Structure 1
Amino acid sequence: MHPNAAFRCDDDPLAFVAAHGFAHIFGQTPDGPRVAHSPVLVTPAGTLMFHLARGNALARHLDGLTALISVGGPGHYVSPNWYVEPAGNVPTWNYQAVEIEGVVRAMDMAELEELLHFAAATFEPRVGQDWTMHKMPRPKAEAMMRAITGYELVPGAIRTTLKASQNRSDADVAGVIAALEGLGDHGGVAAIRRARAKRDDI
């Protein structure tokens, strides 16, 4: 995470993870560091659940491993030309990210099936659909489940970054906002304004 304390974020990090729903999962294996990419779900208990193909290079090592889950949100490049003094600055990037570190436990088949039902119930409404595992013939569903492994991670540490020009002057921020508005990046503008409002409330 970014070392500048100005970019710490007091938003609920698990709500951010739940909203974005896709993660990079890092772990150290005997073959070296590996990363997997997977949808991730936040449970009511505050743990994270995900599944990987059994053939994934990380999958066979995860049970009992301390892993790192990284979830990133939208971001944008910032040109020095948008600041009051372009010659005295360098390019940067605004972004939001959450890292969650914790011990991973492999699920049994019953837990995996619950995870898959939970995943469909979470993500299908986001695209206006209603698919469930009940639409798949049971032998096919069981064969598919045998090809994957479900996991649960219990957070031991959570780190956040919300880098949205909080460390810039009002004039520089006005220049960044004007440039982003010109590019049609309304999400980047909204993130800067939210971060600015929180900073000013402190």
Structure 2
Amino acid sequence: MYVPKLYRSEDYNVMKEIIRENAFAMLISSGDRIRATHSMMMLNEDDPENTYIETHISRANPQSKTLKNGDEVLCDFLGAHSYISSSWYDHINVSTWNYEAVQIYGKVQLMDQEELYKHLEKLTSRFEKNQQCPMMVEDMGRAFVEKEMKGAFGIKIIPDEIFIQQKLSQNRKEHDFQNIISNLENGSDNERKTADQMKKLKR
């Protein structure tokens, strides 16, 4: 990912927030051909010194047929993003797009059955816990879950390179910067989220 210096972040808390809030991301590989799959991804921070991404895709997916231990993949996360109208400046300029993004290059490690089971437990718990009537993996019974697991292909991605980008109008003078925030705050949920991320830059 091309990241101009002005928009580059080295803040791993920003990375974690983007991944946590935008977990449905793109898994990209280039084995027999370029392949991409949207999949649910989680950061595994059991060992803070060796954080990695875990995910799973369908075994019926052609991408699962080509991935093997040691292959390089790219995980692409898109955070808050919004159109920025040129009418929001106090001078003539071009319109643009504000956005946050994380790209992680890493090596594949295939999950064994127990790792996949624990991955599904954590993933389900994360998204079920706020439901009115949560259905956790343990409620389904081990035999049922292991039967369903036959259709899942679990992988870990061990990071090699991490790119964090926050393109949030840092190149604009204060008046225009605040006017952009004001306009975004009157928009959609995603526009308001972009405004919130811009305000965090000033804290």
Alignment TM-score, normalising by the size of structure 2: 0.87
Contact 2:117–2:146 (CA under 8 A) maintained in structure 1: no
Provide the residue aligned with 2:157 in structure 1: 153
> 1:80 Cα shift?
0.7
Q: Does 1:74 align with 2:75?
A: no
CA distance in 1, matches of 2:114, 2:187: 49
Which shows bigger deviation, 98-107 or 11-20? Answer: 11-20
Q: Deviations over 1:143-195 (max 9, x none)?
A: 21001111001111100111110011112213212222333643222211212
Contact 1:51 1:148 in 2 (8 A): yes
> Using the alignment, how far apart are the partners of 2:117 and 2:155 within structure 1?
12
TM-aligned CA distance change 1:17 to 1:144, over 3 Å: same
1:27-106 alignment, distance < 5 Å = 27-30=29-32, 32-44=33-45, 45=47, 46-64=51-69, 65-86=71-92, 89-106=93-110
Q: Which letter does structure 2 place at the counterpart of 1:84?
A: D
Are residues 126 and 60 of structure 1, via their aligned partners in 2, closer, same or farther at CA, if it must alter by over 3 Å? farther
Structure 1 residues 104 and 129, CA, compared in 2 at 3 Å: closer, same or farther?
A: farther
Q: Name the SS for the 1:71 alignment partner.
A: strand
Q: Secondary structure at the match of 2:100?
A: strand
How far has the Cα of 1:132 moved from its partner?
A: 1.3
Shift of 1:24: 0.4
CA gap 1:3/1:21 in 2 versus in 1, 3 angstroms? closer
Q: Give the letter aligned to residue 5 of structure 2.
A: A
Which secondary structure does the structure 2 equivalent of 1:182 belong to? coil
Note the alpha carbon deviations across 1:77-100, whole angstroms, 9 max, x for none.
Answer: 0011111113xx212111111111
Unaligned runs of 5+ in 2: none
CA distance in 2, matches of 1:97, 1:25: 14
Counterpart of 2:23?
Answer: 21
Task: Mark the CA change 1:33 to 1:143 in structure 2 (over 3 Å): closer, same or farther.
Answer: same
User: Structure 2 CA distance, aligned partners of 1:15 and 1:189?
Assistant: 16
Instruction: For 1:128 and 1:14, locate their aligned partners in 2 and report how far apart those are by CA, in whole Å.
Output: 27
The answer to whether the Cα contact below 8 Å between 1:53 and 1:147 also exists between their aligned partners in 2 is: yes
> Does structure 2 retain, via aligned residues, the 8 Å contact 1:84–1:175?
no
How far residue 17 of structure 1 moved from its aligned partner, in angstroms, is 1.4
Q: Partner amino acid for 2:28?
A: F
Structure 1 residue 55: deviation in Å? 1.0
Q: Shift in Å at residue 56 of structure 1?
A: 1.1
**Contact 2:18–2:78 under 8 Å retained in 1:** no
- Residues 1:9 and 2:9 aligned together: yes
Could you tell me the percent identity over the aligned residues?
A: 27
Q: Give the TM-score, by structure 1 length.
A: 0.88
1:169 corresponds to? 173
